[in-house]
Amino acid sequence: MTIAKRFRWEAAHRLPWHEGPCRNLHGHSYRMTVELTGEPDERGMLLDFQDLKRILKPLVEAWDHAVLVAADDAELLALLAQTDWKRAVLPGDTTSENLSAYVAAHLCTEGRAVLQARRVHTVRVRIEETETCYAEAVQAVPPPEAPTPAREARAILSAVS
């Protein structure tokens, strides 16, 4: 079973290394579709849409009407430091590809317990920055028994002791 929810926000960004007009600061009316695939419960529900909205709302609100800026874009960061403009600093370039991968990873991290409890196994995130262009990322939800950094550290310490 697959369910989907759409989100929207307005934001500016730039790709300073781009050889075309995208190297300049410009804006988009972003549209995002998040699809979750898994096994529905005995009543036929995979996940309450409100749970998905609750997990992603802080991220969408942080990006809405903000300047999305890569952490290594020193020129834009210096400009933004002189303003009170809303900004969201991201670890990589602000391409649609990276944004969709970022959201998928965020959902699998921040919503991991909810997704696992509801037997969601796959997250697909599509981000459209124009009516004709989109990027899509797919990520598997880690199973409950998958090692976490804390669990791995305990296992290593146990093996050494």
51, amino acid identity:
D
Note the pTM of the prediction, 2 decimals: 0.87
Q: Where are the domains of the chain?
A: 2-160
Class of the CATH domain delimited by 2-160: alpha beta
* Local confidence pLDDT in tens for the 161 residues of the chain: 999 999 999 999 999 999 999 999 999 999 999 999 999 999 999 999 999 999 999 999 999 999 999 999 999 999 999 999 999 999 999 999 999 999 999 999 999 999 999 999 999 999 999 999 999 999 999 988 765 555 555 544 544 44
Cβ atoms within 10 Å, residue 73: 21
Dist. CA 142–CA 108, nearest whole Å: 8
For residue 78, what are its two tokens? 């210096």
